[in-house]
Structure 1
Amino acid sequence: MEFAKAAWDPELHGFRVDPTAYLAELPRLRDALPPGAWAFAADEEHYRFGTGARCVKDLGLAGVDIPGRKGGGLTLTFVPSEWKHDTGLRIRYAGVRHFSIDYAHAIDWMETDTVLLDEILPHDAGCSHEIALTDAVIIVHCRDLEAVWGGV
C-alpha cells in the first residue's frame, strides 16, 4: 500500500495498522476515483476501527468469485466479526483487469483471514483496491467497484 500501513510488529505480537496518511490523501483523490470506489473509500465509518459498523477492519474473507472471462466481474465476500459488525460486506468489481492474492506469510492460529486495512487509489483501469489481510494481500485493478453491506 502506498499510504496506509499494515504490518506485523513482533514486539507487539500483533499487527500495527495506520490509515492516517491515506485519510490525509483521500480528499485529493475524489475526482480521480470512479464513483463507487469513492463512495466506499470515503464512507465516514470505513476506517473507524473501534465503533464503525461499516469499518472494514476485522471482516473475515469468506469467498472469492473469480471472473470467467477477461474484463468480467469479480466478487469478494466478507463475513462480519462477531464483536464488531452487524452484517458482512460484498464487494463487486466491474471491468477487472488484474486480480491477485499473495500469501506472503502463514499465521496458522487464525481460522479465517481477516481484513487489517485497505486502500483504494486511481489506476489506468479506473482504480486499484489493495486489501491487507492477516495472512495475505489482495490486489484488484478494475473499472469501478460496488460495496454492499448486508445479506452476508
Structure 2
Amino acid sequence: MEYVHLDAQVGDLSGILDPAPYLERLPSIAGDLPPGARAFATDAEHYDFRSKRCVKDLTLRAVRGAVGGEMEVEFRHNCWKHDEDLLIRYTGVSGFLVDSADEARGTDLGAVMLDEILPHGDGCSHEIACWDGTLTLVCRDLRATWTETSCSSEP
C-alpha cells in the first residue's frame, strides 16, 4: 500500500490500521479515478471502522473472470459487523495478482484489513490487503455493489 498504513504506531500501540494518509491524499487524486472507482473510494462509510459498509473484516468468497476482460471479486460479510455482502465488478482488467502468505491457500487470504484505490495509466489499481495476503487488480474501472444478506443463512 502506498498511503494506507497497515502497521502504524499510535503512542505505545503498534499494529494499528491507519487509512488517514490515504484519506488525506484522496481529494487530490479522486478526479483522476474512473467514475465507479471514485464513487467507491470516496464513499464516507468505506474507511469508517464503525460503518456496516467499511471493507474491514469482510472475507474473500470468490474471484471470477480473467485478465483482459471482466472480473468479479465477491466478499462475504462478517455477522458481528456487516449486514451486506460486497461484490466488486472490474472492467477492462489488465493486471491481477494474488500474493498469498501460503501459496497452498490460493485466494483464501483471510479477513480484509483495508484497501487502497489509486489512479493508474489503465484506469485504476485496487489493492486489497488481507491478514494472509494481498489481492491487486488493475482495471479500466470498477463498480462496487452491496447486497443485503442474513446471518441466519450462513452455510
* TM value normalised by structure 1: 0.86
Give the distance between the partners of 1:113 and 1:62, measured in 2 at CA. Answer: 10
SS in 2 for 1:129: strand
Q: Distance in 1 between matches of 2:136 and 2:45?
A: 22
Q: 2:24 matched to 1:24? A: yes
Could you give the per-residue CA deviations for residues 27-57 of structure 1, whole angstroms, max 9, x where no partner exists? 00121000000000000000011x2111000
Structure 1 residue aligned with 2:55: 56
Q: Per the alignment, in what secondary structure is the counterpart of residue 24 of structure 1?
A: helix
2:146 maps to 1:146: no
CA RMSD of aligned residues (A): 2.4
Q: Give the structure 1 partner of residue 153 of structure 2.
A: none
Between Structure 1 and Structure 2, which shows a larger proportion of helix residues?
2
Summarize the Cα distance change of 1:96–1:55 in structure 2 as closer, same or farther, 3 Å threshold.
same
Which is worse superposed, 18-27 or 97-106? 97-106
Structure number with the higher strand fraction is 2
Equivalent position SS for 1:119: strand
Q: Structure 1: which 5+ residue stretches go unaligned?
A: none
**Counterpart Cα distance in 2 of 1:45 and 1:2:** 21
Q: How high is the sequence identity, in percent, across the aligned residues?
A: 47
Q: How many residues align?
A: 144
Distance 1:38-1:5 versus aligned 2 partners, 3 A rule: same
- Consecutive unaligned residues of structure 2, counting only runs of 5 or more, are 150-155
Q: Distance in 1 between matches of 2:100 and 2:137?
A: 15
User: Structure 1 segments of 4 or more deviating over 3 A?
Assistant: none
Give the Cα separation in 2 of the matches to 1:92 and 1:151.
17
Q: Distance in 2 between matches of 1:36 and 1:112?
A: 25
State the Cα deviation string for residues 67-119 of structure 1 (Å, max 9, x = none): 2xx5200110000011100111000000000001001369x9xx861110100
TM normalised by structure 2 equals: 0.85
How far does residue 16 in structure 1 lie from its aligned partner after superposition? 2.5
